[in-house]
Structure formats: structure tokens, C-alpha cells
Amino acid sequence: MSIADRGDAVMMTNYPPRPLALVRGEGCWVWDDAGNRYLDLVAGIAVVTLGHGHPAPIAALAEQAAVLGHVSNLYWSEPAVALAERLCALSDLQRAFFCNSGAEANEAAIKLARRHGGTVGGPTKHGIVSLEGAFHGRTMGALAATWGEAKKAPFEPLPTGFRQIPRNDLAALRDAIGPDTAGVLIEPIQGEGGVNVIDDAFLAEARSLCDAHDALLIFDEVQTGIGRTGAWFAFQRSGVRPDAITLAKGLACGLPIGAVLARDLSSGFRPGDHGTTYGGSPAIAAGALATLKAVEDDDLIGNAQRMGERLASGLRAVPGVAAVRGAGLMLAVELSAGNAAAVMVGLRARGVLVNAVSDTALRLIPPLVIDADQVDLAIAAVHAVLQADG
């Protein structure tokens, strides 16, 4: 029986059908169970920063696991502290909390905003403002901040006090943020929503409104963080400083981790307010530290910038591509014919993996180690599929 058939028999039915069973990876390449090779422009959804099978996080994980793999947060462990020090230095934020996924990082950030709101403004200061098109995760609080009735309706009632406003709409932002706002949660570039870039002017206005109303400005950098957009964090490209950011995906190259980084807040968490058994476990933290070191040593942020520009400008010249948007190696290709699902299937048949992020757009989020030959191969494949299509 195939992996797919076995999976269909025993796995829950929450995911749409999966087209491939992947069995091996190396750098930007993956292989399926029939031995076919693919150029991977999905990277486990913007996770596999260093490419598949990079030795650094694996070795660090194994070494630390052999010494001390897990302790819980009843005790200190050095790798988590070192990771917090490193992330605070990179982001110029002062405090870290570790968990296991992007949704959990956003849950923690929402709770941080409400703890802050309650402390400075009392129980009515609990509102969380996010954007139309936002994706913050599938847990109940993160889901309440996420956009899209289909994802939410079956699971109501969700936590209250959340509202979404149109992105890049300054008037809506001014209308939404007020004395009862505890936090504003924004992806600087929306990932799942279609690689929608939020204007710097909108982010700056969110900053000043949060200052005026003593609300926390939180950037969800779960997808944009760790070099993907050509900077360590997307907020560094915008020049707007948030009070907190959330991270996950690229932070440990596939090992499960999430993080919240925040400025020092006297109104923040108190002992007992929040926690998780696994967050910051020594072995995972060691893997994350090794990932950050490789990103820096191999100049992957510069590579994301350079290869992102090459990919974007090459794709813009392909007939049938209406537009390319995004930054660094977080790009969406808007197709003139609007047939994203069909083009995704066509690319897969030619050995290139992408994902359709809307009916009309493909998302390209490859490992940050992608090289010029691989970028050119991807452009040629899009060209060939669109030509065959048209």
C-alpha cells in the first residue's frame, strides 16, 4: 500500500488531499516515493531556511539531546537563555518567551496584550485589532484574529473582542484603535492571505495610534522572520518598531519552535500567567541557535535579497505573469489568466513545487540557500508552463 493510501486510512481528514509523499530532501531538492526529484519552492511553508538536510541544526540538536534534551520550564537551561540573548540582540527587543509553533506564539502575544491592557486600562481594554486577509494560526485565540469565515464559523463561539479591518486603510485603522484596544496584530507581509505587503505608512500610523492609546503593536513575523524578506525581521525594512514580534517557521529550520520577543513591559506577564512544557527545550533551542549561526555565517539574508530580486525580475518578464509582489524570498506571482491551481499542477509535473495562495496567485518561499541556477530553472519552468497553457 502507498504512503498516501495508508495515510488516507488513518489520518484525520482536516487537510485537503496531498498530491505527493516526500521521502528525502537535500538543499532545495526533495524526492517523492516514486523517486521523482523536485525543486522545492515551498520549503515546508517557509520553514526550511537552510535547505533540507543541513547538518548544523541536526548536529546541534543531537549533541544537546545527548547531554540534556528537555527540562521543562521549572528550571533554567543555557541553550534557551542563549537563544533569547541572540534573538533580543538581533531584534533590539528585550524579552523572549518560547513555545512550539506560530499559533502558540500568537496566543502568547494576544495574552501579553490583554495582560498589558488590563494592567494599564482595566478589564474593558481587551480589544485586539487585526487585518482582513490575516492568518495568525488555528488555535482559538489566533483563529479569532485570523480573517475568513470558512475557517472560523464551524468552531464558534470564538473568543470575543477581536475585529479585522481592511489592510492599508488608514481611516479604518483610526476608527478601530481606541481606548479599549489592548493590541494590534499585523503580519508586515501577509503570507497565507496572498503575500500582501502592508504599507509602511499604515504600519507607522498603527505605531502612533498604539502609542496614543497605550496598546501593544505586535508584528506576526512567523513567516516573514529570520531573513526571509532580506532582513532578519520584516519590521527592520519598514522602519516601524513594534512592541513585540512573534516567530516560528524559519527559526529552527524545521524543528518545532515558536517565540515571542517583546520590549521590557512593567505591565507584562507575571509569574504563573502563561507557560508551556516544551517551550525553549534545550535540544530545540540548540537547533535554533545553530540555524541562526548558519544564516549569519553563510550570508543567507544577503542571498535572500539577491536571489529574491533575480527571481522577481525574471518572473516579471514571463508572458502571462501579471505582477510579482513581496520581498526577498517571499514572493507571489499573480497570473494574468488567474489559473493558479492549474499552473501549480503543471509546475509539479515539470519538477517544481510551489503553492497556490489564491485562485490567481502562486507563492514562492524557497529555502534561503537557493542559488542562481535554481532560480533560473524556476523561472524557465513557469515560462514553459504558461506557454503550454496559453
Ligand X SMILES: Cc1ncc(COP(=O)(O)O)c(C=O)c1O
Residues near ligand X, by CB under 6 A? 45, 101-103, 106, 135-137, 187, 191-192, 220, 222-223, 248
d(CA 214, CA 193): 28
8 a catalytic residue: no
d(CA 90, CA 107): 23
Q: How far apart are the first and last CA of the chain?
A: 38
d(CA 187, CA 249): 14
- Whichever of 221 and 243 has its CB closer to ligand X, that residue is 221
**Least separation in angstroms between CB 236 and ligand X:** 17
Catalytic pick among 125, 202, 249, 269: 249
152 a catalytic residue: no
Catalytic pick among 220, 233, 235, 243: 220
Closest residue to ligand X, based on beta-carbon distance: 102
**Least separation in angstroms between CB 255 and ligand X:** 12
220 a catalytic residue: yes
d(CA 173, CA 131): 9
Is residue 370 a contact partner of residue 319, using CB atoms and an 8 Å limit?
no
Write down the residue that cell numbers 523517486 correspond to. 35
- Whichever of 252 and 382 has its CB closer to ligand X, that residue is 252
Is residue 336 a contact partner of residue 350, using CB atoms and an 8 Å limit?
no
**Least separation in angstroms between CB 194 and ligand X:** 12
- Whichever of 102 and 346 has its CB closer to ligand X, that residue is 102
| Contacts of 355 by beta carbon, 8 Å cutoff, 6+ apart | 42, 45, 344, 362, 363
d(CA 374, CA 242): 35
**Least separation in angstroms between CB 150 and ligand X:** 16
**Least separation in angstroms between CB 196 and ligand X:** 11
d(CA 206, CA 212): 10
Nearest Cα residue to 369 out of 139, 17, 39: 39
Catalytic pick among 97, 98, 135, 233: 135
**Least separation in angstroms between CB 103 and ligand X:** 3
**All three cell numbers of 263:** 520590549
Three-state secondary structure call for residue 65: helix
Tell me the H-state helices in the chain. Answer: 3-10, 43-46, 55-68, 78-91, 102-121, 140-145, 149-152, 170-176, 200-213, 235-238, 282-297, 300-316, 340-349, 372-389
- Whichever of 46 and 83 has its CB closer to ligand X, that residue is 46
Catalytic residues: 135, 220, 249
